[in-house]
Amino acid sequence: MIKAGIGTACVSGLILSPLVAGAELADERERPPNILYAISDDQSWIHAGAYGFEEARTLEERPEERPFFFWYGAREPHPGTIRANLGSGVAAGFDLEAIEVPPFLPDVPEVRSHIADYLRMIEVFDENLGAMLAMLEEAGELDNTIVIVTSDHGMGFPRAKANLYEYGVRVPLAVRWGAEVPAGRVVDDLIDLIDITATIYDATGVGKPEEYPISGRTMLGLLRSGKEGIVEPERDAVYLGRERHTSARHDNLGYPIRAIRTQEYLYIHNFYPDRWPAGAPQALRDDGSFYPRSHGGNAFADIGDSPTKTFLVENSDHEKYREYFLLAVGRRPAEELYDIRNDPGCLNNLAGHPEYADIRLDLAKRLETHLEEFGDPRIVGPDPEIFETYLRYGGIRRYPPPEREPEEWSRKIAP
The Cα–Cα gap between 171 and 401 comes to: 35
Q: Closest residue to Ca ion, Cβ-based?
A: 41
CB of 312 within 8 A of CB of 324? yes
76 binds Ca ion (CB under 5 A): no
Please state whether beta strands 173-176 and 335-339 pair in parallel, antiparallel, or not at all (unpaired): unpaired
The answer to whether 278 touches 300, Cβ cutoff 8 Å, is yes
Least separation in angstroms between residue 6's CB and Ca ion is 21
Give me the helices (H) in 277-320, please. Answer: 307-314
Residues 303-362 within binding reach of Ca ion (CB under 5 A): none
Using CB under 5 A, which residues numbered 358 to 377 contact Ca ion? Answer: none
Give how many residues touch Ca ion by CB under 5 A: 2
Nearer to Ca ion, 152 or 180 (CB): 152
Smallest gap from residue 48 Cβ to Ca ion (A): 14
Smallest distance from Ca ion to CB 169, Å: 12
Minimum distance from residue 41 beta carbon to Ca ion (Å):
4
Position among 2, 13, 36, 41 found at the interface with Ca ion (CB under 5 A): 41
Return the range that interacts with Ca ion (CB under 5 A); candidates 36-44, 62-70, 112-120, 201-209: 36-44
Q: Residue 268 forms beta bridges with which residues?
A: 259, 336
Q: How far is the CB of 158 from Ca ion (least distance, A)?
A: 15
| CB-based contacts of 42, cutoff 8 Å, min separation 6 | 73, 74, 75, 151, 152
Distance CA(15)–CA(71), nearest Å, equals 9
Question: Quick check: 152 binds Ca ion (CB under 5 A)?
Answer: yes
Q: How many C-beta atoms surround the C-beta of residue 162 within 10 A?
A: 24
With respect to Ca ion, which residue has the nearer C-beta, 41 or 76?
41
CB of 285 to Ca ion, least distance (A): 29
Q: Among 33-41, 241-249, 359-367, 393-401, which window interacts with Ca ion (CB under 5 A)?
A: 33-41
CB neighbour burial string for 11-38, b if at least 16 within 10 angstroms, e if fewer = bbbbbebebbeebebeeeeeebbbbbbb
- Write out the residues near Ca ion by the rule CB under 5 A: 41, 152
